[in-house]
């Protein structure tokens, strides 16, 4: 069998930062995200009794496969299968955008591998499986808005779709720096948990914010959605900054974009900033305001991408 699946990346409105259990990838708080339309990963998996090891090719380049193999081990255990697999992935996430491709990568791998191994998992089960590859991947199983419930254990920590909102949400991605990440999110996350005195305050606040966000989305209150989005990101980055050693993803141009967003709001443009594990800024806005947001960033004209809500993870092709 050969199975190909497509998964779209997502951007968290309420962030996930910090693992209670690093092996199972259980988070300290729930998180809420928007799956994006234009950025996705296509992954093909073929379990084959003739193979003597797993192989992994990403964008045409053979890669070392320890993380992919460890993930396939979870699938093999569930399916009671002892074959190796050929995994081929193509990222349609512009590498220069600095968008996390791990979310779309592990969501696509979870669906393609589980199907190819003969499993027929529900969305909830797929979300739990994808979570083991990368926490944010648990949310990419779903289209549009999703909430990842922090849960208590492996069984209860999964994402699910939130009702569609009436808000025409858009993300304007500002590419501040296309270079590789200075510090991996995995390592920095662990260090924030271990050393930041602000981490516990972030956890307490962010769990509450996740609940508030669900209400704000349900009542289509964009101002509240935007405020909660910006605060979750700002507080995550504040906790990171307070780690030992102190660290920040902010670059001068990052701060320039944050200031531009504040100016936009002062001018009545609905715009709120959010950032992940890198210096690029994503501006949450509404469809009718996209052109005004772009026009307010003259220095970044050739470094803007606009995305809207995207679909759930799906199987593209199955062949015998």
Buried b (16+ CB within 10 A) or exposed e, 272-293: bbbbbbbbbbbbbbbeebbeeb
The yes or no reply on residue 100 touching ligand PMV (CB under 6 A) is: yes
The yes or no reply on residue 15 touching ligand PMV (CB under 6 A) is: yes
Give CA–CA dist 89/68, Å, rounded: 11
- Could you tell me if 254 and 176 are in contact, meaning their C-beta atoms sit under 8 angstroms apart? yes
Chain positions 207 to 266 lying near ligand PMV, rule: CB under 6 A, are none
| DSSP string computed for 286-307 | EGGGHHHHHHT-GGGGGGEEEE
β-pairing, 31-48 vs 145-148, is antiparallel
Instruction: Return the C-alpha torsion angle 140, 17, 14, 284, nearest 10.
Output: -80
Give the binding range for ligand PMV (CB under 6 A) out of 15-23, 152-160, 215-223, 293-301. 15-23
Judged by CB under 6 A, the number of residues near ligand PMV is 14
The yes or no reply on residue 110 touching ligand PMV (CB under 6 A) is: no
Q: How many CA atoms lie within 13 A of 1 on its CB side?
A: 16
The yes or no reply on residue 85 touching ligand PMV (CB under 6 A) is: no
Minimum CB–partner distance for residue 304 and ligand PMV (Å): 20
Minimum CB–partner distance for residue 187 and ligand PMV (Å): 11
Of 136 and 243, the one with the shorter C-beta distance to ligand PMV is 136
The yes or no reply on residue 277 touching ligand PMV (CB under 6 A) is: yes
The yes or no reply on residue 16 touching ligand PMV (CB under 6 A) is: yes
Angle at 160 between CA 109 and CA 184, to 5 degrees: 50
Minimum CB–partner distance for residue 105 and ligand PMV (Å): 10
The yes or no reply on residue 196 touching ligand PMV (CB under 6 A) is: no
Of 44 and 185, the one with the shorter C-beta distance to ligand PMV is 185
- Residues in the chain, total: 320
52 class by beta-carbon count within 10 Å (0-12 exposed, 13-18 middle, 19+ buried): exposed
Of 3 and 206, the one with the shorter C-beta distance to ligand PMV is 206
The yes or no reply on residue 185 touching ligand PMV (CB under 6 A) is: yes
Minimum CB–partner distance for residue 34 and ligand PMV (Å): 11
Give the binding range for ligand PMV (CB under 6 A) out of 11-19, 49-57, 71-79, 155-163. 11-19
Q: List all residues 6 or more positions away from 261 whose beta carbon is below 8 Å from its beta carbon.
A: 271, 272, 273, 281, 283
Q: What is the CA radius of gyration of the chain?
A: 19
- Could you tell me if 287 and 269 are in contact, meaning their C-beta atoms sit under 8 angstroms apart? no
The yes or no reply on residue 41 touching ligand PMV (CB under 6 A) is: no
Give CA–CA dist 103/290, Å, rounded: 25
The yes or no reply on residue 134 touching ligand PMV (CB under 6 A) is: yes
Minimum CB–partner distance for residue 236 and ligand PMV (Å): 7
Give CA–CA dist 282/119, Å, rounded: 36
The yes or no reply on residue 101 touching ligand PMV (CB under 6 A) is: no
Indicate which single residue of 91, 114, 136, 274 sits in contact with ligand PMV (rule: CB under 6 A).
136
Give the binding range for ligand PMV (CB under 6 A) out of 130-138, 160-168, 195-203, 265-273. 130-138
Instruction: Return the C-alpha torsion angle 144, 234, 225, 311, nearest 10.
Output: -10
Of 67 and 92, the one with the shorter C-beta distance to ligand PMV is 67
Chain positions 19 to 38 lying near ligand PMV, rule: CB under 6 A, are 31
In the complex, the residues that contact ligand PMV under the rule CB under 6 A are: 12, 15-17, 31, 100, 102, 134-136, 185-186, 276-277
């Amino acid at each position: 069998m050969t199975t190909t699946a497509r998964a779209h990346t997502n951007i968290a409105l309420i962030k996930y930062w910090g693992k209670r259990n690093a092996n199972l990838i259980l988070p300290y708080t729930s998180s809420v995200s928007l799956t994006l339309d234009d950025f996705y990963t296509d992954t093909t998996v073929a379990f084959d009794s003739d193979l003597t090891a797993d192989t992994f090719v990403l964008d045409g380049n053979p890669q070392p496969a320890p993380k992919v193999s460890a993930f396939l081990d979870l699938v093999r255990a569930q399916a009671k299968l002892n074959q190796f697999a050929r995994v081929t992935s193509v990222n349609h996430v512009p590498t220069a955008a600095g968008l996390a491709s791990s979310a779309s990568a592990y969501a696509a791998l979870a669906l393609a591998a589980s199907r190819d191994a003969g499993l027929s998992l529900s969305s909830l089960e797929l979300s739990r499986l994808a979570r083991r590859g990368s926490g944010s991947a648990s949310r990419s199983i779903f289209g549009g808005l999703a909430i990842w419930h922090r849960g208590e254990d492996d069984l209860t920590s999964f994402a699910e779709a939130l009702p569609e909102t009436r808000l025409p949400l858009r993300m304007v991605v500002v590419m501040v720096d296309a270079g590789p990440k200075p510090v991996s999110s995995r390592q920095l996350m662990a260090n924030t948990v271990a050393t930041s005195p602000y981490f516990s305050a972030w956890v307490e606040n962010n769990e509450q914010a996740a609940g508030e966000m669900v209400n704000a989305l349900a009542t289509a209150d964009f101002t509240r959605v935007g405020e909660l989005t910006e605060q979750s990101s700002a507080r995550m980055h504040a906790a990171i900054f307070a780690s030992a050693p102190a660290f920040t993803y902010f670059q001068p141009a990052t701060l320039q974009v944050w200031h531009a967003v504040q100016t936009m709001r002062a001018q009545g443009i609905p715009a709120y900033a959010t950032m992940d594990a890198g210096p690029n800024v994503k501006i949450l806005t509404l469809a009718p305001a996209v052109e005004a947001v772009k026009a307010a960033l003259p220095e970044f004209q050739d470094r803007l991408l606009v995305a809207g809500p995207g679909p759930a993870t799906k199987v593209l092709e199955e062949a015998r």
